[in-house]
Structures are given as C-alpha cells and as structure tokens.
Structure 1
C-alpha cells in the first residue's frame, strides 16, 4: 500500500488521484495503522512551514512516520513536504523541522523577479541516475509555487536544481527519502512519469 499522509494540509485529492493512476493500493489516510502497514509513504504539504509542522505534530502521526523512515520505508515529500524534512525555516523561526536532513529553508533571493516563484520552470538533475528520474528528458519543465527553498548542509543530497534569481533546490534524495519542491501532480506528463517512477521504485 502507498499511504498518502493526511495531516490536514496539502492538495491531497489531486495527489491521491495522480498516484492512483499507477497503483491500485493508494490510500489517503490519517490512521497510524495504515502508515505502519504501508510499503511507501507520500508526505504532501502546502502553506506556511510552521503551520505544516504544527498540524503534523498535532496529528499524532509524526513519530510513526519517522519510525517508518528509519526502518527504510520509501518516502516521497512534495513542496512543503520537502521543506519540513529539514531542521527549520526562515519563514517560521519558532518551528523545528523534522531534521531528517541538516540545513535550513531560506527565502528566495531573486532581485527584479516576483516572489513567490510560481509557474513552469526547467530543472537540472544533479543525480541523473536516480530511479525517480527514469525516462525523463534533460531539463524538463515542472510546476513550482514557493517563496522559500531548502539549503542543505550536505550538497550531495541535492537531486535537482532550478534557476530563479539564484540556484534553488528543486529536489533532494538520500537513501529511502526523496522529495521535490515542485508539484509533480501539477506538472503534466513529466510529473506523472516521476510519480510512476516512485510507485515502481524498488528501494534496496
């Protein structure tokens, strides 16, 4: 089963619909038992970093999700679901992130450009052999909506970048945890291929 974690934030139904195109066992859930039994986890997120973390903590699901990640269950974070994998964010200095990755989420610096970074932009793969990117062309266009981006301490976890005033982290990956700042469920055929790749991915 692929469990899409419902902790009260995120464009959950469009995410569920996109994943259900490639798997019969997709479940949008806020039940701890579902998360314990899931073969793969999806962590969506939209809105403010602090609100997402507050909802996640209040949901009672956070510790179980962290245990499953530690056990090697593949997890795919989307948008703020990527950001909360880090230690914290300039957007919500009072809120601690999950700390799975070291580093902070910082406001985009893009003089002369509108913030948020919203719309289609191309990405460059830093980990082109990552199974998540199988059957994708070089520099595909995907859909972004964000004002902040992750700045990892360990640059080797950056899986893709995009340019908007500065180089922005577009995706991260290490071991069984991967995440995109962009929205694959809104990114047309490219996003659907990426979702299919995660559904098909065999984590070793």
Structure 2
C-alpha cells in the first residue's frame, strides 16, 4: 500500500467518514501506512495516494480549493505531473471535468472532456436528486480496471446527487447507473479515477473499492 494517503480538507464536509472508512480498510487488510486529513499543500505533495471528496455545489467546492494558496497547483502536480493515484468522490469527481453548470458556468480541473449537467429524467415520476441505492453497470473498461476488482455488475452503491458528468466520450467511462437515463457512476484514465457514488456509505461495495484504491500501484 501507499505509505501516505491524503484526504484533502477544503471545507466541503464529509471528510471524516471517508477517512474512517479508509482507516478501517487499511486496518482490516493490514495494509499499514497513514491516512491524513489535511488542507495543507505540503501534505498533498508528500502523499502517495490522494483522495478528493466533495459535498455541495460544483462552483463552491472549486472556490474552496482555490481559496487555499497553491492547492489547485499542488493537486495538479501530484495527480498529473507526478501521476500518483487520485480518487475523486461525488463532487470531487465532478471537479475533474472541464465545466460545471450548477448555479452558473464554472471551470473545473479539465482532466476529462465533458461537463457536469443537471439530471433530467425522461420519466417525470423519477425524483431529483437521485438519492439512494442503485445497481452499477460496469463498462468493458470498468470490468478490467483495478478499482473494480472483485466488484461485479449489479452490485449496489449509494448515490446523492442532482448533477452528473456528461462525458464527451465513453472511452473514460468505467461504470454507469440508470435513473430515467444512463448516468455516469465512475470514470478513469491512467492514474485518475472518480466515482459519483459515496464509497464510505456503500457498505461492502464501497469498502472493496477503497481497498482496491489503497492497494493500487500503477
């Protein structure tokens, strides 16, 4: 496992539950290492694996990161230039897109071509936000990806979101779910991965995914 995993703290909430799930997985699998929750760029730059959770609006989350001097640059250095394993969760995944359209038009990291759009089910009886358990549908890329080792199509994960990432191409799509239409559930390319669902709330499936991420040594 990585010597240090940094969960980035930028005031978005939900950090401790993510960190506790990572600590549980590391302890149960005897993976060792350290789980650090930090809003300091030096900890992000020193980490072997990086996790970016996110709760709230796209623009607010990006503004929260930008408000920490050098944080966006540190994330880019670790995830892109140093190519260390990076996991975005919920809005943390959405920030990996080019553009977010929640309450205006906002720039993201731009690592994945596409934009974050409102969920608009064709069936008006389906509610937004998309909230609760839903079955994952793994793509061909997802079935062979280390993040989904031991996770099969039909396994359930827990979602809470009103916006989804509309990818420009399916080449980076690892998994999707259906809520009146196909919605992006997971993305990945090189050492970058993101999940729209909350692994810390997804019980067996989520813990397995976090275990896979901790063991991932690209």
- TM-score, length-scaled by structure 2: 0.90
Question: Is the contact between residue 9 and residue 38 of structure 2 (CA under 8 Å) also seen in structure 1?
Answer: yes
**Structure 1 residues 30-49: aligned runs within 5 Å:** 30-49=39-58
Matched residue pairs, number? Answer: 203
Counterpart of 2:160? Answer: 145
Query: Counterpart in 2 of 1:62?
Result: 72
- 1:102-142 CA-to-partner distances (Å, cap 9, x unmatched) read 11011111122110000000010112010111112321010
Q: How many angstroms does 1:55 deviate by? A: 0.4
Deviation of residue 76 (structure 1)? 0.3
Give me the CA root mean square deviation: 1.0
Rounded to whole Å, the distance in 2 between the matches of 1:185 and 1:51 is 22
1:150 aligns to what SS in structure 2? Answer: strand
The CA distance in 2 between the partners of 1:188 and 1:95, in whole Å, is 33
- For 1:94, the equivalent position in structure 2 comes to 105
For each residue in 1:56-112, what CA deviation from the matched residue of structure 2 results, as whole angstroms up to 9, or x when unmatched? 110221110111111111100000001011011221333211111111011111122
The equivalences for 1:16-165 within 5 A come to 16-23=19-26, 24-60=33-69, 61-70=71-80, 71-110=82-121, 111-126=124-139, 127-165=142-180
In 2: Cα distance, 1:12 partner to 1:132 partner: 20
Secondary structure at the counterpart of residue 10 of structure 2: coil
For structure 2, the 5+ residue unaligned runs are 27-32
